[in-house]
Amino acid sequence: MNETLLAIYFPVLLMLAVGTFLFFRRKDPAFKKRWYRHAYALNFTVIGGLIVLMAISIGSWPVVAIFSGAALFSIWVGVFRTRVCLGCGKLAQPENLITPQKFCSKCGTGLD
């Protein structure tokens, strides 16, 4: 494995985590709903891209295909199936990776 990519991965992961936390800190639910999809897509594209680059550096193309497919599926679930509750601002993960939540598990507000 390429040690340079591994050395870059963890600081980038830390910067994305801290940056996203600070970006959404003390924001209202409408702000979270508007920007969640963009932030998630950006974060996971960067992380997934680094994972795929690590798999490419190994040189095994079946591994690259598996990691690429897993990254694309995770982006799809996070962007299109996760909902933000407008009542409390909680993220509602899908029930079974396909069906999005219909109600918030924290406050019971209906999710659209």
Domain residue spans of the chain: 3-92
| Cα(50)–Cα(63) distance, integer angstroms | 14
Per-residue pLDDT of the chain (112 residues; tens, 9 = 90+): 567 777 888 899 999 999 999 999 988 999 998 999 999 989 988 988 888 788 788 887 888 888 888 888 888 888 888 888 888 888 888 888 788 888 888 888 888 7
CB 54 within 8 A of CB 1: yes
Residue burial 66-87, b: 16+ Cβ < 10 Å; e: rest:
ebbeebeeebebbeebbbbbbe
Give this prediction's pTM.
Answer: 0.75
Tokens 């079946």 correspond to 62
